[in-house]
Structure 1
Amino acid sequence: MEPNGQELTRWKIHGERLVDDTRRDRVSIASVELPDGVKFEQWVFRIRPAAMMAVLDDQDRVLMLWRHRFIIDRWVWELPGGYVNPDEDPAVTAAREVEEETGWRPLDVEPLGSLQPIIGSADAENRLYVARRSEYIGEPADINEAERVAWIPLDTVRDRILKGEIVGAASQVALLHILAFYR
């Protein structure tokens, strides 16, 4: 019910047909009915939660990865992150991924929130964190993660988004949140 006492009208799900189930994703087709009686089928993707972190330094920069994403066949800047292991705290995942992918250990980690980047057809929660400090611990453990690791001035983020260099939803949300509330 809404706060004003009105009943909410929900879509009805008459069932889901499993298409594929892997260690990270579950894909199905749901039979759905809208409140006006219209029925249709909808692809549904249930993706393991992911965690990402924006690591900041005292020079107003953020630690980012320059990566090729084969699905869209583009080079893009992204925040470090990865899938949350079962029974692992998402903040631990985010910190571990930063270390593995960049060689930097995040300190003073705080939650920024979470988002669902494709909510119309997927449950793919992305948990976001920020670290205000870090320490260099050595070369990245996984050389396949990025072509380059760099500290990017926060003042260039909006322009990089406009130029299509930062396209990932979680990276954009975290960075724009930082620009709006953390400076």
Structure 2
Amino acid sequence: MYDSEWMSVDLDDVEIPDGERFEHHVLRLPHPSTGVVVVDQNAVLLMWRHRFTTGVWGWEIPAGRCEEGETAETAAIRETEEETGYRVEVEPLITINPLNGISSHTTHIFVGANPVRTGEHDPAEAAEVKWVPLNEVPAFIRKGLIPCGITLAALSTYLTLQKTTGSGPS
């Protein structure tokens, strides 16, 4: 139905196990994306940004798409530095399909550690970049300050693992 370098919208003919058939719209993105929960000294690095698609301001983790031929790990490191001005080391946290009912898209979430300041954040990506104490994140979520689903999944997973294992991913 629509095709560009960023996405395609397809109308698929679906047959479910009981034999019923129907048409279903599917959004396909040709490249996976990444997100990074950058943690240092019990604080997480968040970006305050506006999303014109929803008309909402909110705090987000650094994230972006993998470029052609780029690994998810390399993209995560690149996107974090481009967006926040911090270079990090990363390790996998989770892989999610954020809209699995209508999209084939995959997002690889990493934990970023040992941040090193290399420059300023990109003002086109965020109005502000801030270290937020991890113990304040649940209040940010309750107040609706983190509307991004990928950020919510990433931070909730990180905090859950930190609470259940005592340290979170290293």
- TM-score w.r.t. length of structure 1: 0.84
Partner residue, 1:127: 108
Shift of 1:83: 0.5
Q: Which amino acid aligns with 1:88?
A: E
- Between 1:157-166 and 1:80-89, the stretch displaced more is 157-166
Of the three residues 56, 62, 84, the one matched with 2:39 is 56
The alignment partner of 2:13 has SS state of strand
Summarize the alignment of residues 142-181 of structure 1 with structure 2, pairs less than 5 Å apart: 142-181=122-161
Name the larger-Rg structure: 1
Structure 1, unaligned runs of 5 or more: 1-18
Q: How does 1:92-103 map to 2 (within 5 A)?
A: 92-103=74-85
What pairs up with 1:1-183 in 2 under 5 angstroms? 19-47=1-29, 48-58=31-41, 60-107=42-89, 109-140=90-121, 142-182=122-162, 183=167
Aligned with 2:40: secondary structure? coil
* 1:110-145: CA deviation from partner (whole Å, max 9, x where unpaired): 1112000110110110001012220111112x3200
- Structure 2 residues not aligned, in runs of 5+: none
Name the CA distance, whole Å, in 1 between partners of 2:139 and 2:129: 19
CA distance in 2, matches of 1:79, 1:49: 16
Fraction of identical pairs, as percent: 37
Q: Distance in 1 between matches of 2:68 and 2:94?
A: 20
Matched AA of 2:128: R
